[in-house]
Amino acid sequence: MSVKALNIQNKKAKFEYHLLEQFTAGIQLKGTEIKSIRNGKASIMEAYGVFSDGEVFIRNMYIAAYENGSYNNHQPRTDRKLLLNSKEISKIEKFLKTKGNALVPVKLFISDKGWLKVLISCATGKKTHDKRQDLKLKDDRREMDRALKSNR
């Protein structure tokens, strides 16, 4: 069985948030969701994590309906349970109680064993001046790389 590399990332996460602590979690899926994800028909750009009833869920993650799924297809945007151990869940619960903190999915990937995993990060929102500073640093790096390339 050949496992195709899956590369679904939340590119805005590093720009919009200060990423603090990261966790790797499994996702509880139903029916045709994994087939659609393996085809690359998923997005975590608008997704976020919530804590409810002692469990952590990922909300607003988009997984397109599987084209060969017939009546067994899933809902594209539903809450999906994240599979974490109790210590990780308690850390996340304490972190989310503070106002301004968020749980943001950063990357969706398939593990070596073939299981779907999501890399989630505890994050705090960036201010506008922090975003401007990041853009300035990015532009400066780009100009330095161009200068080094032209000197070669």
Instruction: Write out pLDDT tens, residues 111-147.
Output: 999 899 999 999 998 888 888 988 899 999 999 999 9
131 within a domain of the structure (yes/no): no
Which contiguous run of DSSP H or E holds residue 43?
A: strand 42-43
142 within a domain of the structure (yes/no): no
> Global pTM?
0.81
Distance, CA of 13 to CA of 22 (rounded, Å):
12
pLDDT in tens, 55-90: 999 999 999 888 887 777 878 888 999 999 999 999
Q: Which two tokens stand for residue 33?
A: 């969701």
Closest CA to 23 of 116, 100, 103, 110: 103
Q: State the virtual CA torsion across 108, 115, 72, 74 in degrees, nearest 10.
A: -30
Give the CATH number, domain containing residue 88: 2.40.280.10
122 within a domain of the structure (yes/no): yes
Distance, CA of 51 to CA of 56 (rounded, Å):
5
Choose between 52 and 5: higher pLDDT.
52
Total structural domains in the chain?
1
pLDDT at 4: 63
pLDDT at 1: 41
